[in-house]
């Protein structure tokens, strides 16, 4: 069975049920988007497979389904950016995102890099200046194979957003993990009642609360898109995967089962 996507960030095994307090349960959610890379593809799936470093991997997904393989080709700014967006059918205050990831046995995390999340009509990232209408909520892989959140919001302390690292967790190479993001936006421009939760393999690992994601309240600042983002970086050579003699090299990862659900 393929997993659903939830807006608190969570990683869980296929078929597991979130039982910790505050987690959405699959039976209470409505699926609004799915890309499993089997059969007919969504616009997101087609856009990804048109990219140079993405290929369809037959029977390489969860339980023998199809998946996509991403090649992380090192270069002077880390590895080449693989980005795409999927517009949700309707902007919403709360959504959940789930996806499966398997880092290949040759994967080098180097200094870390980006993973997927959510954004509004006009998201902000890359250290760019935040505006009342912009925010983003994503994940990052860490230099040691760890995981951290990566959140741009109205009251963030630094130029590059706020983050929390998962304690006592490392991605196991050549093994699928199920990641889930559960996201709830603030309900008023001056109210810090937003929330982002991350769960890994059924266990809550990060919780952000009292977040003021947006400074304007309108449809344009609601959750409107899934942001597919993965690459090493940063934006300088030290983030890039390299051989022992310092030549840029390629590593890989597999992704499957992108599901977005709306909590009821």
Listed by start position, the domains of the chain span 7-263
Q: Is 74 helix (H, G, I), strand (E, B) or coil?
A: strand
- Res 10 pLDDT > 60: no
Q: What is the pLDDT of residue 28?
A: 80
Mean pLDDT of 180-185: 98
Q: Peptide bond preceding 264: is omega within 30 degrees of 0, i.e. cis? A: no
- Res 1 pLDDT > 50: no
Mean pLDDT of 67-76: 98
Q: How far apart are CA 40 and CA 151, in angstroms?
A: 33
Q: What is the pLDDT of residue 25?
A: 54
Average pLDDT, the chain: 91
Torsion of CA 17, 21, 27, 31, to 10 degrees: -90
Q: Please answer whether residues 180 and 10 qualify as being in contact, where contact means their C-beta atoms are separated by less than 8 angstroms.
A: yes
The percentage of the chain sitting over the pLDDT mark of 90, rounded to a whole number, equals 86
Q: Does domain 7-263 have CATH number 1.10.3720.10?
A: no
Q: Please answer whether residues 215 and 53 qualify as being in contact, where contact means their C-beta atoms are separated by less than 8 angstroms.
A: no
For the chain, the distance separating the N- and C-terminal CA atoms, rounded to the nearest angstrom, is: 21
């Amino acid at each position: 069975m393929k997993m659903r996507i939830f807006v608190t960030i969570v990683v869980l095994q296929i078929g597991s049920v979130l039982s910790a307090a505050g987690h959405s349960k699959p039976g209470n959610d409505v699926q609004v988007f799915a890309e499993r890379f089997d059969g007919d593809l969504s616009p997101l799936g087609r856009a990804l497979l048109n990219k140079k470093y993405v290929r369809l991997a037959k029977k390489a997904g969860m339980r023998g389904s199809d998946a996509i393989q991403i090649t992380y080709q090192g270069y002077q700014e880390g590895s080449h950016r693989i980005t795409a967006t999927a517009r949700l059918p309707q902007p919403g205050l709360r959504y959940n995102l789930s996806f499966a990831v398997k880092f290949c046995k040759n994967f080098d995390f180097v200094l870390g890099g980006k993973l997927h999340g959510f954004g509004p009509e006009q998201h902000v990232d890359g250290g760019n200046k935040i505006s009342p209408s912009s925010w983003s909520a994503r994940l990052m892989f860490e230099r040691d194979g760890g995981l951290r959140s990566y959140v741009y919001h109205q009251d963030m302390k630094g130029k590059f957003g706020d983050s929390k690292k998962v304690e006592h967790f490392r991605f196991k190479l050549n093994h699928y993990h199920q990641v889930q993001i559960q996201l709830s936006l603030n309900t008023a421009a001056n109210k810090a009642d937003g929330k982002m939760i991350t769960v890994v393999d059924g266990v809550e690992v990060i919780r952000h609360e009292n977040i003021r994601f947006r400074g304007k309240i309108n449809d344009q600042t609601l959750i409107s898109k899934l942001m597919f983002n993965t690459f090493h970086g940063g934006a300088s050579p030290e983030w890039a995967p390299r051989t022992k003699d310092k030549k840029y090299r390629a590593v890989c990862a597999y992704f499957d089962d992108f599901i977005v659900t709306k909590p009821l």
